[in-house]
Amino acid sequence: MAKNSDELGFTSVFRTLLKSEQEEAPHVDPTEPHASPLIIPGDVERAFENGEFRVYYQPKVLATTAEIVGAEALLRWQHPEFGVLTPNYFIPGMEKSGLIHEVGAWVLRRVSELNLAISSRITNPSWNIAVNVSPVQFGNPAYLRALLRAAKSLNLPNQLLEIELTETAVLESFNQAAELMALIREYGVTIAIDDFGVGFNSISHLARLPISAVKIDASFVGRLEHSEVDRKIVSALIRLSHDLGMKTVAEGVETMPQAQFLLEQNCQLLQGFFFGRPVPQEEFVAKLPAI
């Protein structure tokens, strides 16, 4: 693998990226033993009211040039005691209590405001910031319509926004997801399929939906260097997605050989710790080229 990589001249770009990444201050990892928070029902609601939630941004880069062409918005809880908590600690609780609808609205608004604030710095026509929408949020299309309308009222081109829906969620409630997607597309917002490839045999269903991009699941990317089978699967997924008119984004890219392989397979966009961890808004904006 990676035969022509140096001809493409990106090894040096990647080295620079890797160096700057290593120099970054370490982020709090809530999976470390020193922080195993006990979250009591009601805490999350209070924390949201107290403004303890943040939207972090992880860059998505063009595979060919490493140019930042958007981001994925990822929710974080700036916990006064435990530090920065990732969604696995609080999203299930939010879904159970229904708070996810309000929080989802807030995330979408924050992302739209960011797009507005940096609109003069957006030069690449394929720029977008992706927002995750969980299956529970599917159940409330009226709410989503109100949100999309609010985002539109900022007078921003709606293609600056992308909605990520996971493959399993879409396939589990196919009809509801198809309705939701039609609604999203009415607003000009694009749709990406998250964690793509896990249900490989279901691609014939997905091919019938208005999907702009698929995000190759990080589990495949993580095995690329050691597994010929995974290299073949990823290569096939990319080709098939392109043939069906969908863009490909690889998630969880952590090493240069992974990035090189994905580039050679013509995967258009890459996202992962190798290019940048999720960071607060100010840090993300600072990475963008000045006007």
192 binds, among ligand C2E, Mg ion, none (CB under 5 to 8 A by kind): none
Nearer to ligand C2E, 37 or 87 (CB): 87
CB of 242 to ligand C2E, least distance (A): 21
In the complex, the smallest distance separating the C-beta of residue 280 from ligand C2E, rounded to whole angstroms, is 13
Task: Please answer whether residues 260 and 18 qualify as being in contact, where contact means their C-beta atoms are separated by less than 8 angstroms.
Answer: no
Query: Partners of 62 in the beta sheet?
Result: 269
- Which residues, at least 6 apart from 25, have a Cβ–Cβ distance to it below 8 Å? none
State the number of CA atoms in the 13 A half-sphere of 12 facing the CB: 4
Q: Does 167 bind Mg ion (CB under 5 A)?
A: no
The item of Mg ion, ligand C2E, none sharing an interface with residue 30, based on CB under 5 to 8 Å by kind, is: none
From residue 98 to residue 127, the character string flagging contacts with Mg ion as x (rule: CB under 5 A) and all else as - is: ------------------------------
Query: Which positions from 224 through 243 interact with Mg ion, judged by CB under 5 A?
Result: none
In contact, 97 and 43? CB cutoff 8 Å: no
Binding mask 118-137 for ligand C2E (x = CB under 6 A): --------------xxx---
30 vs 197, which CB is nearer to Mg ion?
Answer: 197
Q: Check binding of 252 to ligand C2E (CB under 6 A).
A: yes
Question: Site residues for ligand C2E, window 7-46 (CB under 6 A)?
Answer: none
Residues 48-77 that bind ligand C2E (CB under 6 A): 58, 74-75
Partner interacting with residue 254 (select from ligand C2E, Mg ion, none; CB below 5-8 Å by kind)? ligand C2E
Residue closer to ligand C2E by CB (options 164, 230) is 164
**How many residues form the binding site for ligand C2E (CB under 6 A)?**
22
Q: Which does 87 bind (CB under 5 to 8 A by kind): ligand C2E, Mg ion, none?
A: ligand C2E
Question: Closest separation between CB of residue 133 and ligand C2E, Å?
Answer: 6
The token pair at 140 is: 């409330």
Site for ligand C2E in 170-199 (CB under 6 A): 194-195
Nearer to Mg ion, 5 or 211 (CB): 211
| Complete DSSP assignment for the chain | --SSTTTTT-HHHHHHHHHHHHHSPPPP-TTSTT----PPTTHHHHHHHTT-EEEEEEEEEETTT--EEEEEEEEEEEETTTEEEPGGGTHHHHHHHTHHHHHHHHHHHHHHHHHHHTGGG---TT-EEEEE--HHHHT-HHHHHHHHHHHHTTT--GGGEEEEEEHHHHHHTHHHHHHHHHHHHHTT-EEEEEEETTTGGGHHHHTTS---EEEE-HHHHHHTTT-HHHHHHHHHHHHHHHHTT-EEEE----SHHHHHHHHHTT--EE-STTT---EEHHHHHHHSPP-
195 part of the interface to Mg ion, by CB under 5 A: yes
Residues that bind ligand C2E (CB under 6 A): 58, 74-75, 86-87, 91, 104, 107, 132-134, 164, 194-195, 218, 251-254, 272-273, 278
